[in-house]
Amino acid sequence: MEVQVFGTKKSSETRKALRFFAERRVKVHFVDLMERAASLGELKRFAQKFGVDALIDRNSKAFLDFGLQYARLTDERWLEKLADEPLLLRQPLTRFQHRLTIGTAEAEWKSWIDAA
């Protein structure tokens, strides 16, 4: 079993996810969004399941710094902005095969481990 986690090292939620999988000896492929941004295709995969709005961290400092609280963008434009500015994303984005989660989802992750 290998899980892919997208996030930043600064994010406490990302660190929580990495610790969760490490404690259960699950192999993790960590993608630091500050070093390598998520591709537009990857973000679209999450957006198809949860919607673009679920990807946006409206409480983040970056969201306020960019003045996006008043922005009215199309879903496509939001995805482009999220690909360019990873700090706008809710973290972590987690993937196991075709299963996806946004944010901390320990109950879902446990079901992945139990099913594997």
CATH number at residue 36: 3.40.30.10
Structural domain boundaries, residue 86:
2-115
- pLDDT above 90 for 108: yes
Sheet holding 99-102, edge to edge: 27-32, 2-7, 93-96, 99-102
Structure-block tokens of residue 86: 């990873």
- What total of structural domains would you count in the chain? 1
pLDDT score for 37? 86
Q: What is the pLDDT of residues 41-92, one digit of tens each?
A: 999 999 999 999 999 999 989 998 988 888 888 999 999 999 999 899 999 9
CA dihedral for 103, 106, 112, 113, sign (positive or negative): positive
pTM: 0.89
Q: What is the pLDDT of residues 1-41, one digit of tens each?
A: 999 999 999 999 999 999 999 999 999 999 999 999 888 99
Q: What stretch of H or E contains 50?
A: helix 40-50
Q: What mean pLDDT is predicted for residues 101-108?
A: 95
pLDDT score for 66? 87
